[in-house]
Amino acid sequence: MLLIDAGNTAIKYRRVVNGELKKEWIFLPEGEGKPNDDNLTFTDEEVWISSVRGKDIPLPPGSNIQWVGPHLHLPFEISDTLKNSLGADRLCVYAALTELCPLEAVACAITLGTAITYNVMTPGHRAIGGAISPGPAMRFNSLHQATRQLPLTYANEAFDFPAETTSQAICAGVMQGITHELNGFADQICQQFSPDTTFFLCGGFASDFENQFKKRNFVFPDLVLKGLYRLALLNRNV
């Protein structure tokens, strides 16, 4: 079986052999990288795909392709309105939470990528939705593109708050702004549902905020792929 997580920035490919997720390879559509040709010449009996970028992605030939969507059997409770509005990646995230969390738990998965998504699950493995906001790169780019003089700055520049230089001020505004956002949403979730809420951080920027996040949390880089595999197992013979 081959699992594919086609995100906004990169496409991750992961082979499943004897029930284990093997080493992944990544394709960057912008041309910075591509899958090893050998990895796309084999034919898998099953290919399961979570995609937020449509169906125009590199695929191995002659495979049985299955796309994640609301038509699948889902291992969690969800309203029809939410089910039909969630992207494939968020459906996979909820599927992963059902495996990682007990039935009576409250959990929230926060994906820090091109966008930041908050996905809340309440007892009974009920998916109830969450929030979406711009990710770090989007915030840096928008400040540069929507103004006449602000430079394009990156998250790897050292900064303090209050910041002296413009670049440092942008870093402080973006990175500490996201930190305050994360902790603010976390406080609201804990107050509204349970102080024992468990948080999972995933996505390319998760490690940048792990130490600034005040609630109990687990960094789980492969959360979408884990959920995708769970959905594949539940639906492969349906």
CA distances from 5 to 26, 54, 56, 225 (A): 10, 12, 13, 6
149: amino acid identity, one letter: Q
Buried b / exposed e along 65-91 (16+ C-beta atoms within 10 A): ebebbeebebbeebeeebbeebbbbbb
| Residue of 37, 38, 56, 89 marked active site | 89
Beta strand extents in 135-236 (DSSP E only): 198-202, 217-219
Q: Is 89 a catalytic residue?
A: yes
Closest CA to 167 of 153, 178, 149: 153
Nearest to 68 by CA among 78, 80, 58, 53: 53
Task: Confirm if 1 and 13 have CB atoms less than 8 A apart.
Answer: no
Which DSSP state fits 50? E
Q: Distance between CA 219 and CA 208 in Å, rounded?
A: 11
DSSP at 77: B
Phi, psi dihedral angles at 17 (to 5 degrees): -125, 120
Query: Where in the sequence numbering do the catalytic residues fall?
Result: 89
